[in-house]
Amino acid sequence: MKMREQLSGSTQVFRFTLRQFFRSRANNISLLVMLLAILASMPLLTYIQGGETAQPDERAKLDWVAVDNRTALPLSASILAQEPFWSGTKLTDGPSQQADAVVTVTGGAEGYTVAVTGQGSAYDLSILEMDICYYVDQARTAASGITQQQMDVLYSDYYVGEEPESSAEELWVETDDEAMPQGFWVQYGYAIAVMMLCLMSASYVIRAVVEEKGSKLVELLLLSVKPLALLMGKILAAMVYVFGMLLMMVLSWVGSLAIAAAVFGKDSVAHITGTLTELLSVEQMGLAQLLSIGAVLVVSLLLGYLTMSVLGGLSGACCSGIEDAGSASSTVTLVTMAGYLGACVFGAIPGKGVALFSSLCPVLSMFCAPVQYVQGNISLWVLLISWVLQALVVAALMLLTAKVYADLIIYRGSRIRYKELLRMVRSGKEAA
């Protein structure tokens, strides 16, 4: 019952604060500029990298190519259709006097001969000869019963004497089979998302707290609303507003990709969509797995948001005017950047011990725990323990912030430093 009384009125504060966010002209203008910049980013980047239009794939200028296979090898003209270079060329088997170019393949077990005759550019004819020679080699290898794996072993590198030392870059690629780079980039991308969410949410909470203290509006609000309810309402309002902003930013980026694909061709953004699909391995996941991963991400992002938002509320409560908001944000920025940089470092280091530590360390866990779980480096129990620890940190910060909120409500002066704040909490006295 006591907790219910402490939270009574948070719904009204939530509605009031959210209306203030949406009515702010500065918020609306900055959001509009940001969305327009994101919307124009991919078309502009594509234009800078590839020119005004997408460069079409190279095509042969030969209208008709015939392949005259006089051997026992399973070789036909249709095999050339695998190459985009011949996509616009008519391909037939057997000799032809009307074809622009004729490839004649002769020989047997003792050797094969590829002869190209006809009209056309020397470049097209040379490409035709190289492609047919390649497919002749493939057909000859398959006919002899040699597998591709055996061919790889046959032509693999070998050393006489001591093996030469490999460079660090070679060891990275060869010994890890690119598993470590993939895990690092997933961790890096998630850490950026958490960092953006924490910095944006904390800044809005700090500004809302400081503006109300500066206008003395909070003194009137506290007549009917408890400090904890006032703080919770502001944090929830900032959460809804920031999550809405991030959703609009993601939709703007998707729209930017669609515009770039429509103007410059789908190939201009294929490397981006392909990379995202490969990193996330979406095609290999079932619906249940996708839903479970989505739930893990939502809970982890919510706990990370609450942690940094409450810390932002604590920083804002130590200020007496809007001029202190910038210095109050520095503490939240420092803690967030420490977690972000730590996640980037630990994401590049393999090992169960590193995964366990990064998943349980309170600030670091909100950046690392869900990624480590999705990659299979920690169990579900470790993830649940990580969430419990984060929730305890949030609860402790919330109670501390509510007390500081009430103690410093009439404080006017320079911003209270954290050392002074801790001293005040230990002594149980108000700051002078």
Share of residues in the chain with pLDDT > 90 (%)? 1
190 or 32: which leads in pLDDT: 32
Share of residues in the chain with pLDDT > 70 (%)? 70
Question: Which 3 state secondary structure label does DSSP give 129?
Answer: helix
Tens-place pLDDT, residues 178-235: 444 456 667 777 888 888 877 877 777 777 777 766 665 555 565 566 777 777 787 7
| 246 touches 217 (CB < 8 A) | no
Bridge-based pairing state of the strands 111-118 and 64-69: unpaired
Q: How far apart are the first and last CA of the chain?
A: 33
Banded pLDDT at 430 (limits 50, 70, 90): very low
Token pair in block for residue 333 = 């920025």
Express the helix, strand and coil content of the chain in percent, nearest 5 each.
70, 5, 25
- Residue 331 pLDDT > 80: no
For tokens 């996941």, the residue is 285
Token pair in block for residue 358 = 């990064």
138 or 3: which leads in pLDDT: 138
| Lowest mean pLDDT across 70-74, 301-305, 312-316, 427-431 | 427-431
Banded pLDDT at 147 (limits 50, 70, 90): low
The pLDDT value given to residue 170? 38
